[in-house]
Structure 1
Amino acid sequence: MKRWPKISFTEEGMREGMQIEDANIPIDEKARLLDALSETGLQRIVVGSFVSPKWTPQMERIDELIQKFTPKEGVTYTALALNQRGVERAKEYSPPLTIERDRWPRLNCHMCDVFVRRNNNRSQMQEMERWPKIVAQAQENGAAEAGIGTNASWGSNFLGDFSVDILMAMLERQHTMWDDANIKVTSCSLGDPMSWCMPHKVEDTLIRIKERWPEINHFRLHFHNGRNMAIASGYAAIRTLGTDDTIELDGSIGGIGGCPYCGNGRATGQAPSEDLLHMLEDMGVETGVNLDKLIDCVWMCEEILGRTLYGHVSKAGPRPNSTSQLYDMNAPFVETMEQAKHFKKGPKAYEGGIYPYKEPITSPYRERVDQGLPAYESKESNWPWNQDWLPE
């Protein structure tokens, strides 16, 4: 089996998700959801943002949320703070919050000048004006390593596509400044707030970064899912990088999320956590997350928001990976979304469904599986390759 990079996952539903939802969702309901998420095995959860309630009223009562929820030992809870005032507010709740600062002094900018003006009330040029100060401060602090990064890395709803050549040119400018300061670059952050990620571009980007700067071994990748490419892009990144690399990925339960500044609103979304983690588990990556409990959280979130969310595993269920989870051969037709929930709710979910079979269905393959044998053995073995009914 291929060995993958080290992968860490952060749940963003309470922050990325709730920041675009109704500001009047009761705090008790948010606390109930956060408590449920804490019981799933997730190791990192962003609980919200310390930002201006004028522009993000959904986060106005974050103080109440932190006071109401029940922290679970072993879970790291963080919150977004975009300025020093936000950091100071967050510190009032540490613990349970962990106040995180970027491990690396980092040069970063948005590739889209329009988006950063809309979202951050500053220009790309103003972001770049800070670079010399960041480098000087890093030198003063004796930093041995640093990071580079971009946001809106592959394209913009306001300016169009950005080629990998252009992206690499921007990263090169940043890297050169660290080179001139004799500080080694080991981290790269690539953000995608407007859902322009595509697997082939992500793959090309990471290949070229590793070829150009092999000492970079930490990647923070933030994909949005407005065009349904977030999980595919995450998979491309995992396939591209090596065992000496680390990837930080994130997602949100049900795929909720959005940004009022990018033009797609709630359609922006993120990778549904349950779908991404389901994929990782099947790839042999131990996430420590109980998918059954996580699906309960998705259903709870749907109840709170009053609508069906965007993930798939919460609807069709995880792939059955044990005999006890296999579907009943003689189940009736399963047609509706509610009936499909039989993977958790059992036969009552499809009770009364159409049953077209005159005789019960039997299968020698299923008999084997029920006995703990594989449905198929290797082609050098007996079953089913040496059976009389299999054409040679």
Structure 2
Amino acid sequence: MEYRDETMREGMQIESSDISLDDKVRLLDALGETGLPRIVVGSFVSSRYTPQMARIEEVLERFTPNPNVIYTALLVNRRSYERAQRFVPPLTIEDDRPFLNAHLCDVFTRRNFNRSQEEEFASWPAIVEDAKSRGVAEAEIRVAAAWGSNFVGEFSLDQRMDILERAHTVWHEAGIPVTSVGILDPMAWCLPHHVEEQLIAVKERWPHIRRFYLHLHNARGMSLPSAYAAMRALTPDDTLVLDGTVGGIGGCPYCGTGRATGMMATEDFFHMLEGMGVETGVDVAKLIDCAWLLEEIIGRPTFGAVSKAGPRPMSPETWFDPNMPFVETLDQARHFKLGPDSYDGGIYPWREPISSPQRPDSMR
């Protein structure tokens, strides 16, 4: 599995452009100490359209890179590659597979990219010719707005497979094997059973494809269960690539749900893996620190769950005190990390202290 934390790009691109340079550097430095293997630092794009990325060079000049982290950025054209080059290292410019992509929603691609679905198809020959001229050995096929659109409704498996089939045929005729598929869900229509159905369909149609990239948004709370469904649908021989953000922030102004679009919360995902017994090397407690820092920076609660209620208390040292008072607010709930001062002064309605044989430490 490959996980890419997108807090600094996908997350920040929907937040205020007034977030200070110091805060961005603080957050990026903190993310680098969590054990996350891959962090996307931002995007080298026009500040006219994405003012939140206007100072990406200054962020990269000032942050403290962790040598154990692969730092990448979104590079959209030759100019963005040139801008990024001076930051290598610590930035890694990956030689990604070229991909052919089309959105099932023509309305969304017009709003987001100022071009039609047909124009997306028309761009494919130039992408293929460029790949051939560079001697590319493998390619990717993608479908975006894959499961549905806030503007035109739900899409079917047949519609998704039609786009992927068209793209696969173009690469095949060019003599470039397809080894990866990308399924993107910018408007958060994913559902676990639909994700599973889609991955199984791709594996049955093209057994040679072993890499599966999912970009899942979370406006309806389905990104984490959909990621789990993807893990269940694939085999140890497959590679699953997932994106997420600390606190589950993220989105774009084009889909109609703004900041509510969200993504899978990085801390929730790694908490799930930890509970499943998957060794990740990622420190969930430090991810929670990042989520709290992020909330301080953006001035509101984020969408993640584990940063609010804490990880499951698995040992006697972390079990909650049976005699804590009422815990009613988000600030009080932070006792899992900050201790009893968080709920000091809370309502205590019981006449006698609570004791239970299940908690020998409470017996007096």
Indicate conservation of the 8 Å contact 2:6/2:41, yes or no. Answer: yes
Residue 51 (structure 2) aligns with: 57
What's the C-alpha RMSD, in Å, of the aligned pairs? 1.9
- The correspondence for 1:149, drawn from 142, 152, 163, is 142
The question of whether the paired residues in 2 share the 8 Å contact of 1:151 and 1:191 is answered with: yes
- For residues 181 and 99 of structure 1, the distance between their equivalents in structure 2, rounded to whole angstroms, comes to 26
Amino acid in the other structure paired with 1:94: V
Q: Is the 8 A contact 1:116 1:123 kept in 2?
A: yes
Q: Please give the alpha-carbon distance, in whole angstroms, between the structure 2 residues aligned to 1:80 and 1:146.
A: 18
* CA–CA separation in structure 1 for the residues paired with 2:123 and 2:319: 57
Q: Secondary structure at the match of 2:241?
A: strand
> Counterparts of 1:92-241 in structure 2 under 5 Å?
92-102=86-96, 104-241=97-234
Q: Aligned equivalents of 2:60 and 2:289: distance in 1?
A: 22
SS at the partner of 1:266? helix
The offset of 1:69, in angstroms, is 0.9
Instruction: Report the counterpart of residue 315 of structure 1 in structure 2.
Output: 308
Q: Write the letter of the residue equivalent to 2:73.
A: A
SS of 1:108's equivalent?
strand
Tell me what 2:291 maps to: 298
What amino acid is aligned across from residue 255 of structure 1 in structure 2?
A: G
Quote the Cα distance in structure 2 between the aligned partners of 1:177 and 1:317: 48
Query: Does the CA-based 8 Å contact 1:316-1:343 persist in structure 2?
Result: yes
Instruction: Please give the per-residue CA displacement for 1:259-317, whole angstroms capped at 9, x wherever unaligned.
Output: 01111111111111111111121122222111111111111111111111111110100
* TM-score normalised by structure 1 residue count: 0.88
Task: Give the Å deviation of 1:54.
Answer: 0.8
Written as runs of structure 1 = structure 2, the 5 A alignment for 1:326-341 is 326-341=319-334
1:133-178, Cα deviation, whole Å (9 max, x unpaired): 4334444544443221111111112222111111011111112223
In the TM superposition, what are the counterparts of 1:233-382 in structure 2 within 5 Å? Answer: 233-367=226-360
1:13 to 7, 15, 18: 7
Report the 3-state secondary structure (helix = DSSP H, G, I; strand = E; otherwise coil) of the residue aligned with 1:186: strand
Q: CA deviation at 1:28?
A: 0.6
The 3 A distance-change label for structure 1 pair 136 and 55 is closer
Out of 42, 53, 68, which is 1:48 matched to? Answer: 42
Q: CA deviation at 1:113?
A: 2.0
Count of residues in Structure 1 that have an aligned counterpart in Structure 2: 363
Contact 2:217 2:261 in 1 (8 A): yes
CA distance in 2, matches of 1:136, 1:300: 46
Contact 1:323 1:369 in 2 (8 A): no
* C-alpha contact 2:322 2:362 (8 A) present in aligned 1: no
Q: Aligned equivalents of 2:40 and 2:135: distance in 1? A: 30
Question: Where in structure 2 are there 5+ consecutive unaligned residues?
Answer: none
What code does the residue aligned with 1:78 have?
T
Runs (5+) with no aligned partner, structure 1: 1-6, 371-392
Q: Distance in 1 between matches of 2:161 and 2:248?
A: 29
Indicate yes or no: 2:12 matched with 1:32: no
- CA distance in structure 2 between the partners assigned to 1:73 and 1:369 by the alignment: 46
TM value normalised by structure 2: 0.95
Answer with 330-339 or 311-320: which moved more. Answer: 330-339
Give the Cα–Cα distance (whole angstroms) in 1 for the partners of residues 179 and 207 of structure 2: 9
Q: Which amino acid aligns with 1:99?
A: I
- AA at the equivalent of 2:116: S
CA contact (8 A) 2:355 2:362 kept: no
Matches of 2:19 and 2:134, distance apart in 1: 44
What is the SS of the residue equivalent to 1:323? coil
| CA deviation string 1:73-123 (max 9, x = no partner) | 111111112111111111121112111231x23222222222222222332
